[in-house]
Each structure stands twice: as structure tokens, then as C-alpha cells.
Amino acid sequence: MDFELTPEEKAFQKEIHEFLDKECNENVVAETLSLQGAGPYSKELLRKMGANRLLAPRWPQEYGGRGMGAMAEVIKVDEITSHHAPFPLDGVELGNALLISGTEEQKKRFLPGVARGEIDIALGYTEPNAGSDVASIQLRAVDNGDEFILNGQKIYNSEAHVCEYHWLLTRTDPTAEKKHRGLSMFIVDLKSPGITIRPLYTMAGLRTNEVFYEDVHVPRANLVGEQNGGWAVIMSALYGSAVGGGMATGTKNVIDTLVKYVLEEKQDAGENPWIPEALADIYIKTRVGELMGVQAAAYADLGVIPLYGGGASVSRLLGGDTRRLLYNTAMQILGPYGQLVKDSKWAPLDGEILKEFLDAPRWTIVHGSQEIQKLLIATRGLGLPRK
């Protein structure tokens, strides 16, 4: 048993930490905190990170990675999020699936560009009538020989407006007996004629999108995996992301900020004895989730990957709950000042807490709602019966 990072991992952590200390400037941070998707400063930073092979450490060297493990991925995500550098990088996460399900030609075509920070790929699963029940998607892809013709609509595809490609789940066989057997995955150039992207905004001000497909022609070469084998590709994408909650430096920074705020600004802390214990409770939950997430990454690197039911899945569950608790508690600490929006007079802590409070529910919904996570952990992890 050994819970220390390897010297190689520590060196990578130091390298990316120092790089972002230097390169992740206030313009990038402002873009990230704006929740509007990666802007020009962010894209410039991503290209610099790519040039230093910092974006996809888990990929093989030949595709622009470093051939490191899941732990390096955890370290990268931790450094990026705690520096407020652009995130998520769905292209990197989906690249893991492409490594499993893609052809050699597809890997060569897409992975190096993602690793260099030149292209990014947006997730395209959800539709207005297919959320948790993703196998019910209707966006139709009709086989037309060398190409497919696509019609339909996706929704909540965040980052689609700043990404170059779409990782798109389509229905290729509407007659398939089981609905998940008629699905196919494509990588679609988002500049293709017939694609319209319209913004949607969350209550936190985060931009997401509706994406409409109207007679969009997609070459057969962009089909990932088997025709009608899209479900297996989705599963490989989940597999690639099964690293879990990871490290929690960003959350711990927020707790530190709140402690400082209470000690410096709230001179009546003595009259609020619940605050120290409440923040300690959140810190404990954060730290335990971090330990689970990090150990899950170590297990993954040792080839022990309990996809559901292990530390990876439960650390994500705990992380989502803890995030809600953190910002709810933070708002209680701020009292009436907490309701003041960014830039308004008297807004504490730059109005960031309010925004995160409004953004917290998103985290227990995106990438598989908590209810779906629990269903999978219960049935696949614990082996409980489905019917």
C-alpha cells in the first residue's frame, strides 16, 4: 500500500502548476468565470498548453499525449479547475473513447489536434425528449452510401458554439427491436452546412446550446465504431471518464476563501458558532471525496476498474452533494449580502458565490444525473435486481 504520487506524477503536477501560475492570466480567468465558453484568451492558453503536451497526458505519445495514466488526468483537471483555466475539455475525454472505438485513421485525424489545443469536440447526446433515457434519441442519420444525411435536434450541448466538432449520437435504425441497438456515433464538423446553434442560458448565466441539424451531409469516414453500434461507443466514453471526482484543490480554495472572509469581515463570528463546524464538515466531505477519487484513479492505473460501485462513481456522487452543501452554506454565511449579484454595490467576494450557488444544481444533473448514477451503482456495482 502506498498513497504517494510517483516521482513522474509529482513532476507533472509541478510542471502544469507552474505553467498555469504563469500563463493562466486574468483574461483567461475572466473568460472562464463568465461561463460563456472558451474565448480567444482561453483558446490561446489551450494552444500553449498543447504545445507543452499538458492537455492529454493519458494519451500515447504518438497522438500528442505523454503515455501517462489516469492519475495524470486527475492532476491535470485539478490544476486546470483550481486555476480557472478553460474546462471542460470534452475533446480530451471523448478522445479516450476514440482510442477504444475509433479507427487508426480517425485517431490520427482528430487526436493530435485535440492534444495541441487546436480543436475541441462538444458532446451531443441529449435531446428535448431524451435526457437520462439517452437511448431514446431521435436525431436521424440516413445511410446514403458514402455519406449519411442527418436531421434532428440536440439540446444542452455546452461548448458546441466554441468547439470545432460534435460527438453526435444519432439514430440509424428506427426499426431496431431494442432502441439502443439502432444508434450510431459520428464526429461531425460543426461548420457543416445545415447546422444551426442557438444559445440557451442557465440561471447561473452559463451558456449552453440547442443544435439543429437540417439535411447535414456527414462522410461515412466520420462514423465512430460500427453502424448501429453507437451504444458500445457511449459505454467506452463512460469508461474513459470513469476516473471519478479526482482532486479537490479548487473546492478547498473556496473553503479557505470563506474562512478568511468570516475571520476578516464577519467580526461577529463568535455569535455564529455554527460556521466553523459547518465549514469543517464540508472540508471533511471534500477531503474524503478527494481521497476516494484519487485512489480510484490509482486503481484505474493498476487495471482495477470497477466502473460502477467503486470509489470513482461514489466519489462523483459525494462530490455533487458536497458542492450543493458548500454553496448553500456559503450563501447562509453571507446572509443578505449573498443575494447581491456580481458588480452590484456591496456584493461580497466578487459575487462569485452567488453564481456558483446558482450553478451548483447543474453538477448533479450533467454527465448522467445522480439518479442515473445511483441506478447504475445499485444494479451494476451492488448487483441489485432491476425488475
Partner 1 sequence: MDPRLSEEQEILRKSARDFLTEKCPKTLVREMEKDEKGYSPQLWKEIADLGWLGLAFPEEYGGGSMSFLDLAILLEEMGRALFPGPFFSTVMLGGLPILDIGSDRQKEKYLPDIISGKTIFTMALTEASGKYDVASVKTKATADNNNYIISGTKLFIPDASVADYFLCVARTDDKAKKAEDGITIFIVDATSPGISKTVLDTIARDKQCEVVFDKVKVPGENILGKLNQGWGEVQKIIERAAIAKCCEMLGGMQVVLDMTVAYVKERIQFDVPVGVFQAVQHHCVYMLVEVEGSRAATYDAAWRISTGRPYSGEAAITKAWVSDAYQRVVALGTQAHGGVSIIEDHDMPLYFRRAKAAELMFGDARFHRKTVARNLGFKVA
Q: How far is the CB of 12 from partner 1 (least distance, A)?
A: 13
Helix (H, G, I), strand (E, B) or coil at 166: strand
Rounded Cα gap, residues 136 and 376, in angstroms? 18
SS3 96: helix
Considering the complex, state which of residue 3 and residue 346 has its C-beta at the smaller distance from partner 1: 3
Can residue 374 be called a binding residue for partner 1 (CB under 8 A)?
A: yes
Min. distance of Cβ 366 from partner 1 in angstroms? 19
Nearer residue to partner 1 within complex by CB, 170 or 373: 373
Residue 133: CB atoms within 10 Å: 11
Give 246-263 as a DSSP string.
Answer: ---HHHHHHHHHHHHHHH
What CA–CA distance (Å, rounded) separates 209 from 35?
A: 13
Alpha helix (H) residue ranges in 265-350: 274-301, 311-334
Beta carbon of residue 2, minimum distance to partner 1 (angstroms, whole number): 5
Buried/exposed 258-269: b ≥16 CB within 10 Å, e otherwise: bbebbeeebeee
Complex with partner 1: residue 16 or 141, whichever CB lies closer: 16
Q: Does 288 bind partner 1 (CB under 8 A)?
A: yes
By the rule CB under 8 A, 11 interacts with partner 1: no
Contacting partner 1 (CB under 8 A), which of 33, 142, 197, 378? 378
Question: Binding partner 1 by CB under 8 A: which of 11, 203, 221, 302?
Answer: 302
Q: Which of 56, 223, 298, 326 binds partner 1 (CB under 8 A)?
A: 298
Answer yes or no: are the C-beta atoms of 27 and 41 closer than 8 Å: yes
From candidates 218, 224, 242, 292, binder to partner 1 by CB under 8 A: 292
Q: How do 121-124 and 165-171 pair as beta strands?
A: parallel
Residue pair 137/183 in contact (Cβ under 8 Å)? The answer is yes
Residues that bind partner 1 (CB under 8 A): 1-6, 9, 71, 255-256, 259-260, 262-263, 269, 275-277, 279-281, 283-285, 287-289, 291-292, 294-295, 297-299, 301-302, 304, 309-311, 314-315, 317-318, 371, 374-375, 377-379, 381-387
